[in-house]
Amino acid sequence: MSMNALVNNFVGIVLDLGIFALVALPSLVWLAHERRVDRQLRAAAGVGRPPRPHPFATTTVTVHS
């Protein structure tokens, strides 16, 4: 394999990775934005609310003979 073919292969791989990054970048930015909004909503929902007590009590029933 000649040096020219190696350089052509390398340039092709770099171009493919660059195109993939350009296509994937908007969705990755959107995903990061959505995760940040979710964290903010969860944090806002937890402020100012005391924890609710459970409406039931758990017990263990053991049968004795």
Residue 19 pLDDT > 90 = yes
Q: Where are the domains of the chain?
A: 1-45
Residues 15-23, mean pLDDT to the nearest whole number: 96
39: left (phi over 0), alpha (psi -120 to 50) or beta: alpha
Radius of gyration of the chain (CA): 28
- Is a pLDDT exceeding 80 seen at residue 52? no
pTM here is: 0.52
CA–CA separation, 2 and 6 (whole Å): 7
Q: Which of 30, 4, 32, 9 lies closest to 17 in space, CA to CA?
A: 9
